[in-house]
Each structure stands twice: as C-alpha cells, then as structure tokens.
Amino acid sequence: MSLRIKTVVDKFVEELKEALDADIQDRIMKEREMQSYIQEREREVAEREAAWKAELSRREAEIARQELRLKTERENLEKEKSVLMGTASNQDNQDGALEITVSGEKYRCLRFSKAKK
C-alpha cells in the first residue's frame, strides 16, 4: 500500500510540476506580449509627438515669416508716407519759418501763399 501511495503522490507531484511549468510559461508569454504592446504604444506616441513638434515648428516658422513680412510692409508704408507727405514741424524760430523734411532733405518756408488753381 505504501508503494501505491508513493506512486499516487509522485504522480500528483509530477502533474503539479507540469501545471506550474505551464503556468510559468503562460505568464512569461503574457509578459512578453505586454512588453511588446507597451513598446508599440510608446513608439506610436513618440511618432505622434514628433509629428506634432514638427507641425508646431512649421507653424512657428510661418508666424515668424509673416511677422517679418508685416514689419517690412509697415516700414515700407512709413517710408512711402514720409516721401509722399513729408514731415512738417513748426519750429519756434524768430522768423516763424516752417521746416519740412522730405526724404531726408530739410526745406524752410518763410511765406505761405494759396495754391493757384
């Protein structure tokens, strides 16, 4: 009888070892699958982040170009206004002359008269 019990116990232990080995292998496979999934998700997120940063960089560059264009247009407008209208300033001179600057040239006007039609 003792041999029979030993055989049953040995068989039980062997089956238990096999079940444990199968469980360990299953857990290892699940762990590998999980690691693979995590790596894939991290790669996807990194790709989206890189694309987002590239788009942000392009937009910032476009904004900088537009700001430069607006600044240049503003400067050109100021130059045009200066050329077309000149800049006049009433000097508090003793002779009451009006000084006008056109394109960097200063002109003094001592007398005013109505423009002829």
DSSP state, 86?
A: -
Q: Residue 32: enclosing H or E segment and its boundaries?
A: helix 2-85
pLDDT, mean of residues 18-47:
96
Q: Residue 101: enclosing H or E segment and its boundaries?
A: strand 98-102
What is residue 96's predicted lDDT score, i.e. its pLDDT? Answer: 66
Tens digits of residue pLDDT in 87-112: 555 555 566 677 776 666 777 776 66
Phi, psi at residue 48, to the nearest 5°? Answer: -65, -40
Phi, psi at residue 97, to the nearest 5°? Answer: -70, 145
CB proximity list for 107: less than 8 A, separation 6 or greater: 99, 100, 101
Largest CA distance in the chain: 141
- pLDDT: is 47 or 5 the higher one? 47
What is residue 79's predicted lDDT score, i.e. its pLDDT? Answer: 81
What is residue 117's predicted lDDT score, i.e. its pLDDT? Answer: 63
The answer on pLDDT for 1 being more than 80 is: no
Classify strands 105-109 and 98-102 as parallel, antiparallel or unpaired. antiparallel
Q: Residue 27: enclosing H or E segment and its boundaries?
A: helix 2-85
Tens digits of residue pLDDT in 41-79: 999 999 999 999 999 999 999 999 999 999 999 998 888
What is residue 81's predicted lDDT score, i.e. its pLDDT? Answer: 75
What is residue 95's predicted lDDT score, i.e. its pLDDT? Answer: 64
